[in-house]
Amino acid sequence: MSDQIKFIVDNLNKEPFRKNYNLITFDSLEPMQLLQVLNDVLAEIDPKQVVDIREEMPEQTAKRMLSLLGILKYRPPGNATDMSTFRQGLVIGSKPVIYPVLHWLLQRTNELKKRAYLARFLIKLEVPSEFLQDETVADTNKQYEELMEAFKTLHKECEQLKTSGFSTAEIRRDISAMEEEKDQLVKRVERLKKRVETVQNHQRMLKIARQLRVEKEREEFLAQQKQEQKNQLFHAVQRLQRVQNQLKSMRHAAADAKPESLMKRLEEEIKFNSYMVTEKFPKELENKKKELHFLQKVVSEPAMGHSDLLELESKINEINAQVNQLIEKKMMRNEPIEGKLSLYRQQASIISRKKEAKAEELQEAKEKLASLEREASVKTNQTRELDGAEVLKGDEFKRYVSKLRSKSTVFKKKHQIIAEFKAEFGLLQRTEELLKQRHENVQHQLQTIEEKKGISGYSYTQEELERVSALKSEVDEMKGRTLGDMSEMVKKLNSLVSEKKSALAPVIKELRQLRQKCQEVRGLREECLQEESKYHYTNCMIKNLEVQLRRATDEMKAYVSSDQQEKRKAVREQYTKNIAEQENLGKKLREKQKAIRESHGPNMKQAKMWRDFEQLMECKKQCFLKQQSQTSIGQVIQEGGEDRLIL
């Protein structure tokens, strides 16, 4: 604790606080003074917190400080009960609460300043959803979110520029390095000039070299244009092929279509759509309405507690028990008319379920067919782009379609058989449940009879003996069959292995030769790639050196030129000008900072005097109003600067 107080006192005595505390004076501060110190530290982090807490209610002070500490992500130690203690300690200015907060704030002041600044713009204002239904409010909220995102990007760019900015020393170093490079290039140019001057007709050769460079640049530009035009032509040919293929497919479809098939297809679609509109969709809509009504009813009811839930569960259990009793009574009666009606009802429900299932299957099949057609069109386009050939044409496509139709009919038949099996399985499962219940009843009656006769467990023992004997006979048969099957399987496997070995022997020889060739080709390909990379790297280095030489020549011409405008274009002149401007700007800013520091103390003193004057005038006003509101006892007369009371 003493180290913590020492750290707080040391930081409060430094800039910008300058409190001049020691350990004794700081520890002897009153709660109100300690809260003022905390408020001063918060005001240094966020300038909006500059408040005299004597003029503010304690609850408002605590609320303001807690909100800012929440924005700064301060986590007081302890659990929820300690949180309430923390709030109370902040209101009364408790030292065990204030000291850790001050220690945490003074440790990371610069980081918290940045966080408080960003919180002013990045804390999102939550708008209720019912207000967002208004278009004006929704548009304003959208603009607000877009501005927030723009602020994030701009702040990131600003931070990057601050961290990666160049100083004047770095600029000077760059200028000196460029001057050295320039001198080296000038020397190289002079040496080359001396070499060229000894050659005959060097001026003519330089002119021809210049023309050659211009023609090479033009040739590169024309080659680039040619490649772009080739790409455009290739894409245009592809589009033309796609359109032609679509036209052919549409013509084939129109040629194969017959009026009878079209009418039949339309009738099937009309029947399906009428079923969906008249039967399926109304049922689904009715179910959705019931579900919505139930949910609205649940929402309109008051909130349920644990006791209400237990009561509902007990009612549900009672109703389930009653339903089970009624089902048992119905089964015990076993009325034939009711059984027939239940059978008919069950068959009708099965048929309706099958109809709904078929409708759903048809809808899914249509959606699947549409998706497959889209995929097929995409795959055909990709195939045409790769090799430029059509997939299927004419008779081949017709044969393929006939195969698909035959397979689809077989699939429909198999699917229908599966659906019938499922329906029969449902009936048999229900029958099995009923028979199991009856068997349990019979077993219960048999056990009661055996207990009465004194031979309980006889039927169970008899059944177990029969089951064990049947299992023994089955196991013996399985053993015999298994041994014979295993011996035959081993013979077949041995024969297959020998056949495969003899068939694969020539293939393995060819594969070895091909592997050797593949390794040679791979080595040659790697050597080719290495040589190509070296060639491209050498070309790039030559181009970079030409560009640097051109830049150095232009810089030398601009620097040596007698024309002032050309001289101003030189990089050295521009950097010199920028350095002078930055130095003048820094000098002006330092003078402005000095003036602000000199006038800061008197200005703060004058502002404090003005606030005291306002408080004094307010006090006089209150006294005057209070005097006017009281019942007058006498009359006050002012004469010669004196007040006299006459009763």
User: Tens digit of pLDDT for each residue in 374-417?
Assistant: 777 777 766 666 655 555 555 666 777 778 888 888 888 888 88
Q: Give percent of the chain with pLDDT exceeding 90.
A: 4
In the structure encoding, which two tokens stand for residue 48, read together? 């909006």
Q: What is the pTM of this model?
A: 0.30
The Cα diameter of the chain in Å comes to: 143
At position 282, the amino acid (one-letter code) is P
Alpha-carbon span 144 to 137, nearest angstrom: 10
> How does strand 635-639 pair with strand 642-646?
antiparallel
Residue 340 near residue 405, CB atoms below 8 Å:
no
Phi-psi region of 466 (alpha: psi -120 to 50; beta: other; left: phi over 0): alpha
Burial (CB < 10 A; 0-12, 13-18, 19+), residue 123, is exposed
The tens digit of pLDDT for each residue in 259-301 reads: 777 677 778 778 777 877 887 788 888 888 888 887 777 667 6
pLDDT band of 637, cuts 50, 70, 90: low
pLDDT at 460: 65
Report pLDDT for 617.
92
| 307-355: pLDDT as tens digits | 777 887 888 888 888 887 887 776 666 554 455 566 666 677 777 777 7
Which tokens sit at 276?
């969906």
As a whole number, the mean pLDDT across the chain is: 78
> Band of the pLDDT at 70, cuts 50, 70, 90?
confident
Domains of the chain (ranges plus CATH)? 1-123 (1.10.418.70), 173-232 (no CATH)
- Please give the average per-residue pLDDT across 582-587, as a whole number: 91
Greater pLDDT, 362 or 185: 185
> Which of 160-164, 218-222, 254-258, 364-368 is modeled with the greatest confidence?
218-222
Among 299-303, 366-370, 608-612, top mean pLDDT goes to: 608-612
Q: Which residue has the higher pLDDT, 448 or 603?
A: 603
Note the pLDDT of residue 337: 46
Q: Would you state the pLDDT for residue 80?
A: 47
pLDDT at residue 638 above 60? no
Of the listed ranges 37-41, 191-195, 547-551, the one predicted with least confidence: 191-195
So what's the pLDDT on residue 390? 53
**DSSP code per residue over 233-267:** HHHHHHHHHHHHHHHHHHHHHHHH--HHHHHHHHH
What share of residues in the chain are helix, strand, coil (percent, to 5)?
85, 0, 10
- Confidence grade of residue 612 (pLDDT, cut at 50, 70, 90): very high
133-147 pLDDT, tens digit each = 777 878 888 888 888
Q: What is the pLDDT of residue 449?
A: 78
